[in-house]
Structure 1
Amino acid sequence: MRNIGPSRLYASGMRLVPSPTARMTVAGMLAALAASVLPASTAHAAEPQAPGSFTGYGFDTCVAPSQTVMDRWNLSSQYSAIGIYISGNSRYCGDAYQPNLSPAWVADNAAIGWRFVPIHVGYQAPCFKNNPDSRVQKKRMSRTTSTARSQATSDANEAVAALKKYGFPAGSFTYLDIEYYSRSDTSCDAAVRQFVDAFDERVHALGFRTGLYSSGSAAIASINAIRTASWLDKPDHMWIAWTNRIADTDGGPYLADSAWNHHERIHQYHNGVNETYGGKTLNIDKDFLDVGKGSVRPAEQQPCGHPMTYQTWPGLTLGSRADQVWVLECRLKAVGQLQTVDGYLSTGTIAAINRFRASLGWSQNSRTSREFWTALLSAGSQPRVLKYGDVGEDVYRLQRALRAAGEDITSYGKFNAQTAAAVRRYRLARDLAGYRTATAGTWVNLQKGKLTK
């Protein structure tokens, strides 16, 4: 986390470390291209997800970035979720230092697919050590159980009020930030446990959910150790600060493999990193999320009653009854070039092939070449952006088209690391920036039947 000013302690060797989201579909090429440069609009408002169901990359940074930065990072970075500091009396980046953060900012970014990790930085452990050079001296909770619990309830009320202020619906998460402290002070550790329990109890009573952020060896390990205690109101998520630079949700020695293992984890795996996308640089902490139901690949749609995905897209000739004829005819029907789908490549189907070729300005030679398949399989509306962790029919469509264009795609329906690498190769082959995201430029080339060089 980046909220205590010039320095902070982390669990990895207790070393001192310098402080440092379904995507909107746009109809038509022109709208997609415009969306890549225009700011988001609340006219396309979507209920903000905090954080919803997702498996993929996120980041947190002290000050919520400008809309220009958010737009550019959305299109060109792997990140789909952002941690935002919305409440707490110990925030380094409190309201006075947040020129961009507002309900409208949340709504605009929800509309373009961003997910959110709302963070509450309130009372810290009684033995927490403030950095004397920081402009924010964090408040400490009491060692007295009754007082610590009262402070936690107050913090919970503030956190939920902030969630509502920013437009997050009931059931959304607030993540309690407990910075590093030494568990060797047992009364301090006991106070933290009581505070977490009372905070969770109150947030849950108000209809929202909780996550606990902390260094692995601090509050994460402490709550993990008592996770089966009958009195404990457990956090719904665990957000482990363990800077091992591995993008997964492993809790290492701090969190049992059997605990919070049903899409209930976030891992902050690298921090204080400068990254640049779309010409805009941020200093961030890098996170990997597996939350909600995760990014679950949906079953493939079969609009014509037959599978739509194959590993080969052959040249077809008059009279063919290959399985791919069903896909050919189904897609030709979807783009308005054919009325009847029967799995038989007739003269009517040949005529539809030529009509589609003519729509692209190609010769009407009746051929289903690789270029033809690439264009046909990708035809349709253009998602504003697809990236790691996205799922759904648009991802299937992208992957089929990339396969036809010559990319090595073997799994479908979920935008995974294989797909990200294929998108990057295809973009570079088509003289586009080497992002791992499928943006308007990717779709324009696919829909023109452009192959990997």
Structure 2
Amino acid sequence: MPGFPGFDTSEFPGNAEMAWLRANTNLRWCGYYLGPAPSHASTSWMGTRAALQAAGWGIAPVYVGQQIAGPGRHNVSASQGTIDGNDAAALMRREGFPAGSCVYLDLEDGPPFSAPRTNYVAAWVDAVAAAGLQAGVYCSHGFAEDVHALRPDARVWAFKVETAAEHPFPGVNFPDLHPAGCGYTGAFIWQLGQNCRLNLQTTPLRAPLVDLDTALTPDPGAP
């Protein structure tokens, strides 16, 4: 059984672009970046939930939390995990997501998955669950199994890509592979393409830069 194609991009593409993609491609859901978050200051997606859902889009809320290295903030601790989990829940409520909706903690760094990051993730997941929401974790396929072992109820959005360099993706038929193809059989979502430059010359933005995903359901944030 195949998956449901989706995409994520850190900045909201705009209503015209979203309408074109919904009408002219097989994309069925989009990442929805909550903000401001510790490692994602932009709020461009905020306030668009109702319109996106009315247009038929599924939504996967994303909270870019503390990171081990690279861009963003780096306060990786259990106490900060609780603070950030409560913050993610507050942003979800502000956007009108119903109880039981799933919000995904974005971990950009690869393996190893060890303390103090495990402490941060566990506390974040627990805080989100205590707020009446479903927790998910976006992470490398290289430690997706470890995330599941740490918190079995968390949905896993695993990334496994051939390249992180910008590259063209032609056409309007996007991959609908089963998420288990990422190498972790329990994956709820598989990010299988990063920095894909779409070649859709009739769209308002003409060549948006996105990451491509496939999910078990057409609405990966739904309860």
* 3-state SS of paired residue (1:238): strand
Taking the aligned partners of 1:161 and 1:234, their CA distance within structure 2 comes to 23
**Number of positions where the alignment pairs a residue of Structure 1 with one of Structure 2:** 203
Measured at CA, do residues 167 and 189 of structure 1 come closer, stay the same or move farther in structure 2, by a change above 3 Å?
Answer: same
Match of 2:170 in 1: none
Measured at CA, do residues 273 and 158 of structure 1 come closer, stay the same or move farther in structure 2, by a change above 3 Å?
Answer: same
Within the candidate set 163, 168, 181, 2:97 is matched to 168
Taking the aligned partners of 2:15 and 2:182, their CA distance within structure 1 comes to 36
1:222 maps onto 2:146 in alignment? yes
* 3-state SS of paired residue (1:287): strand
Q: 1:344-359 to 2 correspondence within 5 Å? A: none
Measured at CA, do residues 77 and 268 of structure 1 come closer, stay the same or move farther in structure 2, by a change above 3 Å?
Answer: same
Would you say the 8 A contact 2:78–2:119 is kept in 1?
yes
Within the candidate set 285, 289, 302, 2:215 is matched to 289
* 3-state SS of paired residue (2:216): strand
Would you say the 8 A contact 2:179–2:216 is kept in 1?
yes
Within the candidate set 78, 82, 86, 1:149 is matched to 78
Match of 2:65 in 1: 122
Q: CA deviation at 1:281?
A: 2.8
Q: CA deviation at 1:112?
A: 1.2
Q: CA deviation at 1:234?
A: 3.1
1:236 maps onto 2:154 in alignment? yes
The letter for the 1-side match of 2:72 is K
* 3-state SS of paired residue (1:281): coil
1:111 maps onto 2:89 in alignment? no
Q: CA deviation at 1:235?
A: 4.6
Would you say the 8 A contact 1:60–1:286 is kept in 2?
yes
Q: CA deviation at 1:108?
A: 1.1
TM-score by length of 1: 0.42
Q: CA deviation at 1:265?
A: 0.8
Measured at CA, do residues 251 and 141 of structure 1 come closer, stay the same or move farther in structure 2, by a change above 3 Å?
Answer: farther
The letter for the 2-side match of 1:286 is L
Q: CA deviation at 1:292?
A: 8.5
Would you say the 8 A contact 2:28–2:218 is kept in 1?
no
1:209 maps onto 2:134 in alignment? yes
Match of 1:408 in 2: none
Match of 1:6 in 2: none
Taking the aligned partners of 2:151 and 2:60, their CA distance within structure 1 comes to 21
1:272 maps onto 2:189 in alignment? no
Measured at CA, do residues 121 and 273 of structure 1 come closer, stay the same or move farther in structure 2, by a change above 3 Å?
Answer: same
Match of 1:250 in 2: 180
Taking the aligned partners of 2:212 and 2:161, their CA distance within structure 1 comes to 9
Taking the aligned partners of 2:199 and 2:208, their CA distance within structure 1 comes to 7
The letter for the 1-side match of 2:39 is S
Structure 2 unmatched runs, 5+: 164-174
The letter for the 2-side match of 1:85 is Y
Structure 1 unmatched runs, 5+: 1-53, 131-136, 143-147, 295-453
* 3-state SS of paired residue (2:178): coil
The letter for the 1-side match of 2:87 is E
Render the CA deviation track for 1:330-375: whole Å, top value 9, x for unaligned: xxxxxxxxxxxxxxxxxxxxxxxxxxxxxxxxxxxxxxxxxxxxxx
1:79 maps onto 2:24 in alignment? no
Q: CA RMSD in A?
A: 2.5
* 3-state SS of paired residue (1:157): helix
Structure with more relative contact order (C-alpha pairs < 8 Å, separation 6 or more): 2
Taking the aligned partners of 2:146 and 2:9, their CA distance within structure 1 comes to 26
1:192 maps onto 2:110 in alignment? no
Render the CA deviation track for 1:83-106: whole Å, top value 9, x for unaligned: 121132111x522xx2xx332x21
Q: 1:305-384 to 2 correspondence within 5 Å? A: none
Taking the aligned partners of 1:141 and 1:248, their CA distance within structure 2 comes to 35
Render the CA deviation track for 1:197-251: whole Å, top value 9, x for unaligned: 111111111100111101212x424324xx1xxxx43352111100159732125
Match of 2:6 in 1: 58
* 3-state SS of paired residue (1:78): coil
* 3-state SS of paired residue (2:124): helix
Taking the aligned partners of 2:161 and 2:62, their CA distance within structure 1 comes to 19
Would you say the 8 A contact 2:110–2:139 is kept in 1?
no
Q: CA deviation at 1:124?
A: 1.4
Q: CA deviation at 1:267?
A: 0.2
* 3-state SS of paired residue (1:72): helix
Structure richer in helix, relative to its length = 1
Which has more radius of gyration? 1
Match of 1:343 in 2: none
Taking the aligned partners of 1:177 and 1:68, their CA distance within structure 2 comes to 27
Q: CA deviation at 1:182?
A: 3.9
Match of 2:46 in 1: 102
